[in-house]
């Protein structure tokens, strides 16, 4: 067993505290990763505080994991000791259903996706995430990180990056298309970067005048302030795709009026309260959909794309001793634009 130090939550009312635990010894297909950095995702907080009602404790959060390969199993072919490598939101799946075979393991139709933490592996053991100094995973679910990327700033690509890359790619963001990004936070700022890099005309929606300049620097061709009266008026029927990166409940119907016929609104923000959709808002074959991270093959494609285009997340570094403060700021959306834990300071 691999003795590991990490930060764990032991019930829904606590923040993570130091905890010594063990990972399995690497099997023939496994990689042991020495974790360098782990991004802080809002979903870490939702899960640790059991806001989605599915928490299993003890929980070591963290699914934006970057590190160095410290050991490999005998059958591992993709990695050697010393390689930079990354683990995102999944560490296994059924691998046999149509979605898994299509490389969309996050939509495993046998509901057998094993998430990086707060999940049970095929042996029934709880999985533990990246707020720690080691992790063991099957190489099929471990990613290569292009050498030119800053490893700390690359960590959030594993969730915030793929979560926005996948739907933008799937729904055709590119030249000749007009794409809107709702919210400029951890997800939104990555969506903005990718949509711009794909060549789409990219519009940032925000309630904050203070974010206009940042949005333009990050790649927005236009910024629309959604707190102004009649803000939709000049933009009706003009968008091909709108990616909603906001987790707080808000009215999505105005955004639907901005879509062209057959246009798509996609949430990745996953508000806790249901989306309230007027039937009339979708009658012009406007689509409301949602997307969840991306498959392993597409995550590697995203990382390679980031290497080619020098895309990483804008981050603030933090440490385990400041974790409580960092979580508080994440909940207040007070971070530009993603906290990353320095796991070597554990």
Query: Footprint of its own copies on this chain (CB under 8 A)?
Result: 98-99, 104, 107, 109, 167, 170, 237, 261, 264, 266-267, 269-271, 274-292
Report the alpha-carbon distance of residue 26 to residue 205 in Å, rounded. Answer: 46
Residue in this structure with the two tokens 């989306």, named with its chain if needed:
275
- Collect all residues with Cβ–Cβ distance below 8 Å to 161 and sequence separation of at least 6: 190, 194, 302, 303, 306, 311, 313
Radius of gyration, alpha carbons of the chain: 20
Terminal C-alpha separation, the chain: 20
Residue in this structure with the two tokens 């199993």, named with its chain if needed:
73
- 10 Å CB burial of residue 245 (0-12, 13-18, 19+) is buried
CB nearer to its own copies: give 124 or 274: 274
- Collect all residues with Cβ–Cβ distance below 8 Å to 283 and sequence separation of at least 6: none
Tokens of 25: 């010894």
CB nearer to its own copies: give 289 or 308: 289
Residue among 307, 342, 302 at smallest CA distance from 326? 342
243 forms bridges with which residues in the sheet? Answer: 181, 266
Report the alpha-carbon distance of residue 108 to residue 268 in Å, rounded. Answer: 18
Assign 310 to helix, strand or coil.
coil
Report how far apart, in Å, the C-alpha atoms of 133 and of each of 37, 86, 209 are. Answer: 9, 13, 40
């Amino acid at each position: 067993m691999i003795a590991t130090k990490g930060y764990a939550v032991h019930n829904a009312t606590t923040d993570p505290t130091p905890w010594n635990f063990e990972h399995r010894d690497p099997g023939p297909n496994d990689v042991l990763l020495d974790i360098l950095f782990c991004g802080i995702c809002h979903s870490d907080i939702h899960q640790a505080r059991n806001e989605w009602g599915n928490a299993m404790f003890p929980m070591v959060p963290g699914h934006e994991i970057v590190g160095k390969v410290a050991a490999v199993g005998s059958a591992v072919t993709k990695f050697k000791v010393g390689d930079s490598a990354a683990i995102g939101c999944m560490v296994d799946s059924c691998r046999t259903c149509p979605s898994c075979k299509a490389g969309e393991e996050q939509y495993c139709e046998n509901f057998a996706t094993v998430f990086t933490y707060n999940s049970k592996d095929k042996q029934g053991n709880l999985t533990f995430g990246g707020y720690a100094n080691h992790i063991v995973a099957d190489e099929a679910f471990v990613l290569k990180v292009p050498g030119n990327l800053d490893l700390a700033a690359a960590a959030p690509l594993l969730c915030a990056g793929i979560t926005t890359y996948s739907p933008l790619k799937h729904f055709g963001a590119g030249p000749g298309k007009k794409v809107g990004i709702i919210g400029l936070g951890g997800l939104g700022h990555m969506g903005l970067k990718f949509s711009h890099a794909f060549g789409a005309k990219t519009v940032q929606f925000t309630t904050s005048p203070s974010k206009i300049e940042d949005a333009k620097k990050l790649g927005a061709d236009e910024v629309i302030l959604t707190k102004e009266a009649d803000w939709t008026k000049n933009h009706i029927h003009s968008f091909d795709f709108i990616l909603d990166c906001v987790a707080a409940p808000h009215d999505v119907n105005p955004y639907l009026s901005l879509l062209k016929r057959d246009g798509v609104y996609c949430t990745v923000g996953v508000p806790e309260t249901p989306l309230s959709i007027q039937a009339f808002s979708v009658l012009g074959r406007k689509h409301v959909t949602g997307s969840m991270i991306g498959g392993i093959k597409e995550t590697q494609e995203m990382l390679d794309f980031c290497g080619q285009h020098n895309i990483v997340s804008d981050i603030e570094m933090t440490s385990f001793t400041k974790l409580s403060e960092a979580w508080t700021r994440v909940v207040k959306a007070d971070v530009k634009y993603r906290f990353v834990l320095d796991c070597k300071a554990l």
